[in-house]
Amino acid sequence: MKVLVVGSGGREHALCWKIAQSDEVDKIYCAPGNGGTNLVAENVDIKANDIDGLLDFAVKNNIDLTVVGPEEPLVLGIVDRFQERGLKIFGPDKSCARLEGSKSFAKSFMEKYSIPTARYRVYENYNKACEGIKEFNYPLVIKADGLCLGKGVEIVNTQEEAIKVLEDVLENRKFGKEGSKVVIEEYLDGIEASLLCFVTDNRIIPMESAKDYKKAYDGDLGPNTGGVGAFSPSPLFTESLKTRIKEEILDRIQYGLQEEGLNYNGILYVGLMIVDGSPKVLEFNVRFGDPETEVLIPRLESDIVDLFQKTIDSTLDSSDILWKKESSLTVVLTSEGYPLKYEKGFEIEGHESLNESIILFHNGTKLQENRLLTDGGRVLSVIALGNTIEEARRKVYSNINNIRFKGMFYRKDIGK
């Protein structure tokens, strides 16, 4: 069969790599892909948000299965459009994708179905929002409602800072219509964890847990990023916590989806904060996480194409999803200055002579006349499996120095 993967990051490289291991697959395309997806798939020059272009390509090339990486095409309704044309596609439809596409929708869903989350208010009007923040203590979290390329969440420490953010978002329309509403919410102090789940016909089947490092610098300092390191499983996930997450969160999401008349198929990423041992939902994503996918996929034993097909056919069972016992860890090599200002286009060297225990997924690279160049803030994910997180960690760090590019930066404390 022919598979089309939509997206261009490390997540999509990991997906292409795993899909390539399936006996059912003859050909993989990745749109638009990067310098790494190129190694296992044929890159197609169509942007991930160009739904018409992707649809046209899938029809003309008789694509049997499309797998969507990023949120934007899902929120734009790529799944509905492909299904209307009778094409098989893995991901939630437009109405389900609102769980990520609108934070106010996600919060009201959580409130309605008693899913534990931070206390919140939604505002469209700047003056009312300025009044509303008086009900909260500091730090305080302000979120633009829509998709803002991961830049829509601000944690502020004073009323002055809060008013500045509200002014930027609601008055000056920093995020355009994606910021026409804000969610103001209580700050949760705890430990973050990511739980990705397969969802088939609203039935939620959790994967193994993962821990993502969101801050740019060692010791969890500096600005928030898309994620610069990860490991799996997260030792936080004891049996008793797993039971609580199932009963207090996953079962209620499932019930809520059913009650709302939604029909969710695809991946649901539940972003959690564990506060004094109790799980609370920070956010939903309607797709695989990045870099969580880079550590989960190498641990997955099962044929992923089989899992995608069973999800679409509503026959997926938890016993279909088998995991390796080993742990995995990734360190993301970034361009100096990321997530703020950075340069790209620098040659990457040493990536071909890594130890064979290392898996390398490309986040932001491109091939130009046989040279591999940096092409994003996150550049490469260096991954290893190990009997323990510590063993995986040692393998990764002892191999990083073989890779070189100008301005290469990475955290030294992933998994420590």
**Contact positions vs ligand GLY (CB under 6 A):** 212, 226-227, 285, 289-290, 292
Site membership for ligand AMP, residue 217 (CB under 6 A): no
Partnered with residue 285 across adjacent β-strands are 269
118's contact among ligand GLY, ligand AMP, none, with CB below 5 to 8 A by partner kind, is: ligand AMP
| Length, in residues, of the chain | 416
CB of 68 to ligand AMP, least distance (A): 19
Nearer to ligand AMP, 272 or 358 (CB): 272
Contact 232, 294 (CB under 8 A): no
Site membership for ligand AMP, residue 16 (CB under 6 A): no
292's contact among ligand AMP, ligand GLY, none, with CB below 5 to 8 A by partner kind, is: ligand GLY
289's contact among ligand AMP, ligand GLY, none, with CB below 5 to 8 A by partner kind, is: ligand GLY
CB of 224 to ligand AMP, least distance (A): 6
- Give DSSP secondary structure letters for 17-68: HHHTT-TT-SEEEEEE--TTGGGTSEE----TT-HHHHHHHHHHTT-SEEEE
Other C-beta atoms lying within 10 Å of the C-beta of residue 20: 16
Q: What does the block give as tokens for 124?
A: 């469209």
Site membership for ligand AMP, residue 282 (CB under 6 A): yes
Binding flags for ligand AMP, 58-77, as an x/- string (CB under 6 A): --------------------
Measured distance CA(329)–CA(295) in Å, rounded: 6
Contacts of 256 (CB under 8 A, 6+ apart): 109, 112, 113, 115
Contact 189, 138 (CB under 8 A): no
Query: Of these, 122, 141, 156, 359, which contacts ligand AMP (CB under 6 A)?
Result: 141
- Phi, psi dihedral angles at 297 (to 5 degrees): -60, -45
Per rule CB under 6 A, count of chain residues that contact ligand AMP: 13
Other C-beta atoms lying within 10 Å of the C-beta of residue 355: 10
Measured distance CA(151)–CA(258) in Å, rounded: 31
Nearer to ligand AMP, 170 or 373 (CB): 170
CB of 215 to ligand AMP, least distance (A): 8
Query: Of these, 126, 187, 217, 342, which contacts ligand AMP (CB under 6 A)?
Result: 187
| DSSP H or E stretch at residue 89 | strand 89-90
Query: Of these, 36, 69, 73, 271, which contacts ligand AMP (CB under 6 A)?
Result: 271
Nearer to ligand GLY, 193 or 389 (CB): 193
Backbone torsion region of residue 223, taken as left when φ is above 0, otherwise alpha when ψ lies between -120 and 50, otherwise beta: beta
Site membership for ligand AMP, residue 154 (CB under 6 A): no
Q: What does the block give as tokens for 25?
A: 């697959």
Q: What does the block give as tokens for 83?
A: 């299904």
Query: Of these, 214, 287, 395, 411, which contacts ligand AMP (CB under 6 A)?
Result: 214
CB of 214 to ligand AMP, least distance (A): 5
Site membership for ligand AMP, residue 188 (CB under 6 A): yes
Site membership for ligand AMP, residue 294 (CB under 6 A): no
- Residue ranges in contact with ligand AMP by CB under 6 A: 118, 141, 143, 153, 185, 187-188, 192, 214, 224, 271, 282-283
